[in-house]
Amino acid sequence: MNALPPRSPEMANEILYWEDMRDAGALEIGSHTFTAEDIIAFARQFDPQPFHVDPEAAKESFFGGLVASGWHTCAVAMRLMVDKYVNRSASLGSPGLDNIRWLLPVRAGDTITYRRVITSARASESKPGIGLVQSRWEAVNQRGDLVMTMEGWGMFRRRPAQASAPG
């Protein structure tokens, strides 16, 4: 498994460019434990379906109990990515996500570990200072079960000295 380039203390604030991201391979992003309170609070604001906001009603649902919104699992992934590397990168955002799959319900008490795998990278043909990175994100619960996957592209500035070089 590759990782982002190591940073010495004096380089801790160095920006990660496309050239760093394209070769990063797989990276564990971090873990998060979902609580009933967090599940309900998120869902009340963004996905107020009974099986996300009402533990009693959730018992009678298809899920048989309270479950996190799939959007909650995605939002946690985004937060962990931002904390791990996006805020120290030359990120220009993303044109979008594809193939979001919620494979198993996430319940209160579940600890989900997130991982990002670079699947391809290419320099932009129309914008020489930009590179694109395609990734697959995976979320696994404490039992090792895959609970969520998604794919997407990220856009990053290229290292200034290499911005005009082919990818």
We report the CATH number of the domain holding residue 113 as 3.10.129.10
- State the CB neighbour count (10 A cutoff) for residue 47: 16
Distinct helix (H) and strand (E) counts, the chain? 5, 5
Nearest Cα residue to 72 out of 147, 145, 9: 147
Q: What is the mean pLDDT of the chain?
A: 90
Q: Are 151 and 99 in contact (CB under 8 A)?
A: yes
User: Could you report the per-residue pLDDT of 66-86, keeping only the tens digit for each?
Assistant: 999 999 999 999 999 999 989
- The domain in which residue 125 lies consists of 13-162
Q: Is residue 4 domain-resident?
A: no
Opening angle at CA 6, ends 24 and 85, nearest 5: 60
Prediction pTM value: 0.85
Q: Give a yes or no: residue 7 inside a domain.
A: no
Query: C-alpha 150: how far from its chain's center?
Result: 8
Number of domains in the chain: 1
Strand ranges for the chain from DSSP E: 26-33, 96-102, 111-123, 130-140, 146-157
Query: Beta strand pairing status for 146-157 and 130-140?
Result: antiparallel
Structure confidence by residue, pLDDT tens digits, 100-127: 999 999 999 999 999 999 999 999 999 9
In a domain, 1, yes or no: no
